[in-house]
């Protein structure tokens, strides 16, 4: 999923209705936590919903945290246009249900910018470790043509 599609996906992300949906959002948000000032404080109402044995009750603090994180994830300086005069950094992550790859660059103040991700095709779910991370580069790489 390229930059514009990722921004739209995060912007249009529905309010999570259960712990599994919330954990999907938290996974994406947590990966970029270093770019969100006061991330832990903002996300704390959401983290409480995932406590073992706690009922899943979405309230106003959860809505505020969710909207704040959505906005932070799609607002500069997290996402930016690439600078072809700077080196690119590729980070990959893979599990049995999805591939994540980040093509980023280091900005003037040292931050990295530029997320993308997608789910596995059914047959790719049987690969493990390094081969899956390689698929992240192979499949998501074409999204990074500038």
Which token pair is 113?
């910018």
Quick check: is 66 in a domain? yes
Query: For the chain, how many structural domains are there in total?
Result: 2
Checking 3-8 for CB contacts under 8 A at 24+ apart, the result is 3/79, 3/114, 3/116, 3/143, 6/79, 6/115, 6/116, 6/117, 7/74, 7/79
Among 50, 74, 98, the domain boundary falls at 74
Candidates 76, 65, 66, 67; CA nearest to 35 is: 76
Same domain, 51 and 94: no
Same domain, 103 and 67: no
pLDDT value of residue 31: 81
pLDDT value of residue 4: 79
pLDDT value of residue 86: 83
pLDDT value of residue 116: 44
Same domain, 64 and 102: no
Q: What is the pLDDT of residues 38-47, one digit of tens each?
A: 888 899 999 9
What pTM does this model have? 0.55
pLDDT value of residue 89: 80
Quick check: is 80 in a domain? no
Quick check: is 115 in a domain? yes
Q: What is the pLDDT of residues 52-110, one digit of tens each?
A: 888 999 999 999 999 999 998 888 654 567 778 888 887 776 666 566 666 777 777 66
Mean pLDDT, the chain, as a whole number?
Answer: 76
pLDDT value of residue 117: 45
Inter-axis angle of helices 60-74 and 19-31, to 10 degrees? 40
């Amino acid at each position: 999923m390229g930059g514009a599609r990722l921004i739209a996906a995060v912007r249009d992300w529905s309010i999570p209705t259960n712990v599994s949906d919330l954990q999907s959002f938290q996974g994406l948000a947590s990966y970029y936590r270093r770019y969100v000032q006061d991330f832990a404080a903002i996300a704390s109402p959401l983290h409480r919903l995932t406590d073992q044995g706690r009922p899943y009750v979405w309230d106003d603090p959860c809505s505020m945290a969710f909207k704040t994180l959505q906005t932070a994830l799609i607002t500069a300086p997290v996402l930016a246009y690439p600078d072809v005069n700077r080196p690119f950094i590729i980070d990959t992550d893979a599990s049995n249900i999805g591939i994540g790859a980040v093509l980023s660059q280091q900005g003037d103040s040292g931050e990295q910018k530029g997320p993308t991700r997608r789910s596995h095709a059914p047959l790719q779910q049987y690969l493990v470790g390094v081969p899956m991370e390689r698929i992240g580069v192979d499949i998501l790489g074409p999204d990074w043509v500038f």
